[in-house]
């Protein structure tokens, strides 16, 4: 069966520090991969998605970036965190077949001080 792993579960970072969140998927090949953010009172915001290695689509311009160095690995990064980057970050995967459900990881709670 397929599983998705995100780490760390919680992270506290100072303003201006870098960020790296990692997500890996097991048990499937060639998945679509997604990064979302949930900020208080703002619902689910799609940040990036990827349909293949090195292929990244950005949904919201900001100081975050994403990379997909391997087929089942998706990384969310920032060079300098802002207070507004606080939130709950979720990674998800789906089949390449269109209109399929997405399957989510357990999330990372990021607090910026």
Residues that bind another protein (CB under 8 A): 6, 32, 34, 43-44, 46, 49, 51, 88, 90, 92, 94, 98-107, 109
Nearer to another protein, 38 or 80 (CB): 38
Smallest distance from another protein to CB 22, Å? 15
Nearer to another protein, 15 or 60 (CB): 60
Q: Are strands 3-7 and 87-94 parallel, antiparallel or unpaired?
A: unpaired
Q: Which is nearer to another protein, 83 or 99 (CB)?
A: 99
Give 55 or 79: the residue with its C-beta nearer to another protein.
55
Give min distance, CB of 65 to another protein, in A: 19
Give the SS3 label for residue 85.
helix
Q: How far is the CB of 47 from another protein (least distance, A)?
A: 12
The residues with which 70 forms a beta bridge, in sequence order, are: 73
**What is the distance between the alpha carbons of residues 105 and 93, in angstroms, rounded to a whole number?**
9
If one counts every other C-beta atom within 10 angstroms of the C-beta of residue 85, the result is 20
CA-wise closest residue to 53 among 77, 19, 88, 29: 29
Length, in residues, of the chain: 113
Task: State in angstroms the smallest separation of the CB of 81 from another protein.
Answer: 20
């Amino acid at each position: 069966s397929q599983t998705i792993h995100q780490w760390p579960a919680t992270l506290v970072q100072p303003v201006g520090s870098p960020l790296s969140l990692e997500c890996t998927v097991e048990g499937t090949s060639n998945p679509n991969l997604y990064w979302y953010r949930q900020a208080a009172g703002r619902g689910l915001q799609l940040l990036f998605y990827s349909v293949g290695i090195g292929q990244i689509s950005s949904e919201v311009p900001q100081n975050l970036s994403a990379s997909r160095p391997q087929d089942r690995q998706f990384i969310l990064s920032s060079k300098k965190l802002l207070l507004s980057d606080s939130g709950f970050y979720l990674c998800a995967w789906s089949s390449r077949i269109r209109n399929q459900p997405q399957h989510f990881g357990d999330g990372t709670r990021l607090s910026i001080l």
